[in-house]
Structure 1
Amino acid sequence: MATKKRSSANESGWSSGSAGVLVGAAVAGAAIGLAANVGRKLFVQFTSGATGNWSDALATEHKMTLAVFDKIQATNDSQTMMRSHLLAKLKYALTKHALQEENVIYPALREAGERVDADHLTADHGYVKTYLYELEAMAKDDPSWLPRVAEFRTMIERHMREEEDDVFPRFRAWLSEEKDKELTALMNKEGFKFA
């Protein structure tokens, strides 16, 4: 009786060379994925942080947020998927922005003796989270959805004006050039974590 030697390559259809190519492709794919993620983070942070100092970067993010609101408010009740997508984009932008402010700028405000402003602005962020929660929970074709978005936008615009026209200019005037650069670097680092 002749014993037939079977090779594992014949059974599986793969040779050791094919397996090596497959492993190489998987490693290359993982490397490309990691590089793309880092590239995405750099792009997201660059678009908001490349404008100069921390207050300019936050003002740019404010404008970008209002542009998302514009797109949301241009939808109609039949565009539920588009509304969901844009709401997710808004939530992402506002969450990243809030983390930068709450973890860097508002603590620096407190350190500068501006506790009342820091606490007030932080409290506004609580309302932002509430609006986002409510809008996510509501049916996107509910006739009251867009009016709720408009109410949310009004609150956000008031918050932005307060920061850009009053609190941040006053705070920047108090900061040394060195501290201003330090806050910019810290805020960009915080944003990069979330980007």
Structure 2
Amino acid sequence: MATTTTTRRRSSSSGAKRSSGSTTRAKTTARQTSAKSNSNGGESNRSKSSSEKSAFDFKGGWLGAAAAGAAIAIAANLGRKLAMQGMSAAAGDWDDMLAAEHEATLALFDKILATDDSQTVKRAMMIKKLTHALDKHAHEEEHVVYPALRAANDTHDADLLEGEHGYVKTFLFELNEMEKGSPDFLPKVREFRDMISRHAKMEEEEVFPRLKEGLTDEQNAHITMLVNKEGFKMA
């Protein structure tokens, strides 16, 4: 009887040990599974972080390139403006500057008149250039010189000359809209040139000398500065 009881106790003890071993292995397996899961999660997070960083770097690089491109474009435009207005400013006082622009404009007309009907692209480009040059010139006169004429009690000539600028805009509109290979193109350009030549001659030989004669050195320098300022805006 004692032997049987002892055997049962050993059996029970052995079963308990096996149960304990099973529990331990289960816990170990669970820890390993958890560790593996954490490891996979870490790798996933690292992969996600790397992906986000890559996207951020791409966006940052793109924005940096865009900013650099914009800076280059602004610098180039500023350089172009300085060069264009610098050519006018080099002529001297305001009246000399405007006379130099008259001369350059008439030379551009002559280049257009030297083209033939097959050079439609060249004509179109030159008309665009002419439009820009005359828009700039008109802006300088209308915002500085003609107001100065009115201040000097020369309202009649100021109104007459500014009124002619309306016809300049009409000619430019017609030439920009016209077929550049049209047989009517060169006659229109020639008519326009004649009108600009008469306008420039009146300003240079009559109106500008009369205005300048009544200016002090300080007033003359101020008008020169203002013409340069307005010209730079439009260059």
| TM-score, normalised via structure 2 length | 0.77
Distance 1:95 1:63 in 2: 15
Distance 2:233 2:77 in 1: 12
Deviation of residue 132 (structure 1)? 0.7
Deviation of residue 78 (structure 1)? 1.0
Deviation of residue 17 (structure 1)? 4.8
Q: Does 1:94 align with 2:134?
A: yes
- Return the match for 2:69 from 17, 29, 37: 29
* Structure 1 spans left out of the alignment, 5+ residues: none
Distance 2:161 2:50 in 1: 66
**Contact 1:69–1:153 (Cα < 8 Å) also in 2:** yes
Kindly provide the amino acid, as one letter, of the partner of residue 229 in structure 2. Answer: K
- Return the match for 1:116 from 138, 156, 173: 156
Deviations 1:48-106 (A, max 9, x none): 12211100100111111112111111111111111111000000000000010011000
Q: Does 1:126 align with 2:166?
A: yes
Counterparts in 2 of 1:23 and 1:112: CA distance versus 1, 3 Å: same
Q: Which residue of 1 aligns with 2:48?
A: 7
- Return the match for 1:47 from 76, 87, 98: 87
Q: How many residues end up aligned between the 2 structures?
A: 194
Give the CA RMSD over aligned residues. Answer: 1.9
Q: Does 1:142 align with 2:162?
A: no
Moved over 6 A (4+): none
**Higher helix share goes to which structure?**
2
Distance 2:167 2:57 in 1: 59
Distance 1:105 1:11 in 2: 60
Of 19-28 and 178-187, more deviation after overlay is shown by 19-28
Q: Does 1:172 align with 2:194?
A: no
Deviation of residue 8 (structure 1)? 6.1
Counterparts in 2 of 1:9 and 1:80: CA distance versus 1, 3 Å: farther
Deviation of residue 23 (structure 1)? 3.3
Q: Which residue of 2 aligns with 1:83?
A: 123
Counterparts in 2 of 1:9 and 1:48: CA distance versus 1, 3 Å: farther
